[in-house]
Structure formats: structure tokens, C-alpha cells
Amino acid sequence: MFTLLGGIASLILGYFVYGKYIEKNFGIDPDRTTPAEALRDGYDFVPMSKPKNAIIQLLNIAGTGPIFGPIMGALYGPVAYIWIVVGCILGGAVHDYMIGMISLRNDGAHLPELASKYLGKPVKHVVNIFAMLLLMLVGTVFVASPANLIESITPNWLTLEMIIGLIFVYYLISTILPIDKAMGVVYPYFGAILIISTLAIGLSLIFGGHTIPNLTPGTMKNFNPSGTQIFPALFFTISCGAISGFHATQAPMVARTSKNEKEGRFTFYGMMIAEGVIAMIWAAASMSLFNGQTLNQMINNGTPSLVVNQVSYMLLGSVFGTIAIIGVIVLPISSGLSAFRSLRTITADYLHINQSTLKKVLMVTIPLYAISLVLTQVDFNILWRYFNWANQVTAVISLLVSTRYLYLKNKNYLVTLLPGIFMLYACVVYIFSEPIGFGMGLTTLAYILSTIVTIGLMVLYWETGKKQKRELDPSDKLLNDQLPIGTFVSENG
């Protein structure tokens, strides 16, 4: 119990201490006009209140990631707590804040445009591919996971296929609505369900007489029953809740609705801290109620949704347990919607398809949903594996964009460079060792090659950064964030 409570307290303290430093290092300008006001279009650029933006950001980034990830991460034992707390404060929350604020300074630009500006135009094509791949996988995963949960609490006549179809209908309707109508109206209610259900799970766990594993010298080891090594697997299993590249595709959406830069720490950094709290609670619940073998069997026999059901019913009973499951369901549905909305705008920007009419919106949206519908037939665990890989590669790209931004402006860039190097090395090891890459296993050769590749990439990154800085004029827009309005806005803006 002490580790759970101490971890949550550390996350909150991180918001007030490290989050404040990150905000100061970025250098906010409360008097600066934001894209929501300057580019108001009544569709994507719509000024909204700070609380509404915050709850939209939380529901956009959360999905089933901070629940399913920690459930699977619980197989490693209490060591998972360390990654959630440290990863969230020093990595994930910084990652989310920086991309959100850099987008805010660049007309609400998405990650591919930011990568083009700060890393070079050729990089834009690579980032576009990764962003679109990631969003497609996220959208599909966040259709399949809530569908399984809904099936578990609804009558037998409502089949899984019917539920998936209904979710896509909801997505289609919401995608074509202005953001303040699609998310601004519904999400506050979704957020209330999420917060109440998460608190109920946490309080029932703490005051229900359950033995919550603590992190001690004796438990500081790998408990995974399958023998899977902690590095790099844990850092891909628990992504949402620690650090997640998916968030870099969502922050620009809220950057387009924020009214003041001083809201950024609460909206971007703070909501990632909130996600970390959710992750801590579900990791603790999974470790407390099941041993590793049982937990592993439940996950392998289906998806982590089975664990969600059991935890909810065991801690809260049938009625309130069902409400808690609904609280989990709203996360992936809301994140899936935002993933497809981002996928539509990024695809339209990349292909130069005007989004000013409903016909053109549907021209992009419907084919994307058709591809996702096909992918829902793929085994969930396979989808999750590819999602995690694409997710963390995107996180590396986002951290490198943030580092270049800080470097060019003579700010402390180590706050993003250090987590960026760590995640880059983890991604390269993952590619060399896992079957989805070179399948070499965690051998000495894999580690050596990963080290060489990581160093090579960082040398290239550093040299191109120095060259870029040498060639900058003091009045350059890269230094002063002074852009002509609409520089990075698609034709619908």
C-alpha cells in the first residue's frame, strides 16, 4: 500500500515541482494570441475553457493504454511502479507538454509539420507514415478493446460484430461534427464516469483489506511468469501511463482550442500525471488480486478486458462493478474517436485534400474506417504488439523534435534529450530482438548492434542540429516562433 500511495504522491509532487520547471524552461507568453482565436473556423479551431480542454486531453490520451498496459505490466511485479512514476514525470508529461506547446506556437500544427520544420523536410514523410500507421493501429485497438468489454455486460443477442459496427457509426457521426459539439458536449460526462470509477477502484483496493504489493529490496526483481526480461519489454508494455508517442498526435488537437499558453501545464503536463495515477491504480489492483500465473493465463486467454471485468466485480460488486467497466469503456471509445479525427486531418494535410465540405471529409474518413474494420479481425495481442512499437518510435521522434526546439532557442534541452536517447535505444533493441523486427533475441550481439545504431543516429542528429543553428539568422522564425498565420494549417483552415 505504501508504494501505491507514495507513487501517487510522487506523481502529484512532480506536477507542482518538475512540471513548473518545464513550464519555466519553455517560457510561456500569456499575452500571445493562440491559434484558437487567430484561426477560429468553428470546426477544429474553436476556443474552449481550460477545464473542458483538460478533460478532452485526458480522454484523448488515456484510451485503454493506462489500464491494459499496467495490467500486462503487473506481470513484472512491483518494479512496474518505478517505470510508471519516473517515466511519467520525467518522460511522458514532459513529452506531452512540449509537443502541445510547440504546436500552440505553430498554428496548431501536427507532428509531421513540426518534424519538417525542426528536423528537416525529408523527415516529414517518415513521420507522416509513422503517425498514420500509429493512429490507424490506435483507432483499431480502441475499437476492439471496448467492444470486448461491452460484449461482457450486454445481452447475448448483441454480438461482437454488431457492437463494432455501432462504435464505427458513433465515430463516423462524431468525426464530421465540429470539435466543440463532438467532444466538448459529451466528454465532460465521460470524464465524470472515468474519475468516479477510478476513485472507486482505488479506494476499494486501499480500504478493502487487500494486500497491495510494495516495492522492497526483495521485490525489486522480475516476476514475469513467462521469463520475459524487463528491458525493453516493460517499456513497451506500459507506454500510456509512462510515455506514449500517441499523445503527440492528440496534443495539437487541444492546442487548436486553448485560449492561453498559461493553461498548458495543467492541460498537457497535468493530464499525463492524471493518466499516471490511473495506471498506478490498475497495476496495483492487478498485482493485489491475482498472482502472476493467474494474471498471465487470463491475459493469454483473451485480452486484458477479462482482468478489467474481474477486478471491477471483485472490488465493487456486480452493480458498481458494471459502472466501473463503463468507466473503462469510455476511455478507448473517446481515444479511438480522437485517433480517427487526427488521422483524418493528418491524411488530408499530407494528400492536400481540402476538408471544407462534408463530401470531402467523408472522402477521407470512410476509406480509413474500412481499413480499420478489416484490421479488427486480426488477433488483439498482435495488434497491441505493433501498436506499442509504432507508439514508442513516435515518442522518440516527438522528443527529438522537442529537443531541437529547445536547443535552437538556447533552453535546457537535456530534459527531452535524455529520455529521447533512452527510448531510442529501447526501440532499437526492440527492433533487433523481437520477431516483428530481426528476431535476434536479447543476445549480446543485439545489444552491441543497438548501441552502435543508437550512437550513429544521435551523432547524425547532433551534427544536423549544429548545422541548422549555425545557419540561422537572429530574426529567423525558428528562433522567434513568428509565423505567418496559417503556415501549418491545412486547406480547411
Helices (H), 105-156: 111-119, 121-152
Supply the Cα-derived Rg of the chain in whole angstroms.
Answer: 21
Reading the block at residue 83, the C-alpha cell is 517505470
User: Running DSSP on this structure, what letter comes out for residue 107?
Assistant: T
264 vs 155, more confident? 264
pLDDT tens digits along 54-76: 998 998 887 666 788 899 999 99
Contact 245, 401 (CB under 8 A): no
The three-class DSSP label of residue 181 is: helix
pLDDT band at 10; cut points 50, 70, 90: very high
pLDDT above 70: residue 487: no
Contact 167, 333 (CB under 8 A): yes
Helices (H), 376-443: 380-408, 414-433
The total number of residues written for the chain in this structure: 493
Q: How far is CA 269 from CA 212, 435, 442, in A?
A: 28, 34, 34
The three-class DSSP label of residue 43 is: coil
In 3D space, the residue among 285, 336, 337, 281 whose CA is nearest the CA of residue 309 turns out to be 285
pLDDT band at 143; cut points 50, 70, 90: confident
Contact 141, 384 (CB under 8 A): yes
User: Could you give the domains of the chain?
Assistant: 2-480 (1.20.1740.10)
Reading the block at residue 173, the C-alpha cell is 457521426
For residue 289, give every residue at least 6 positions away whose Cβ sits within 8 Å of its Cβ, in sequence order, or none.
210, 310, 311, 314, 315
296, amino acid identity: N
**Percent with pLDDT over 90 in the chain:** 48
pTM of the model: 0.89
pLDDT tens digits along 227-258: 899 999 999 989 888 999 989 988 998 999 99
Give the integer Cα–Cα distance in Å for 258 and 37.
9
Q: What pLDDT sits at residue 181?
A: 73
Contact 254, 270 (CB under 8 A): no
Q: What pLDDT sits at residue 373?
A: 87
Nearest 10 degrees: Cα torsion 335, 337, 338, 340: 120
492, amino acid identity: N
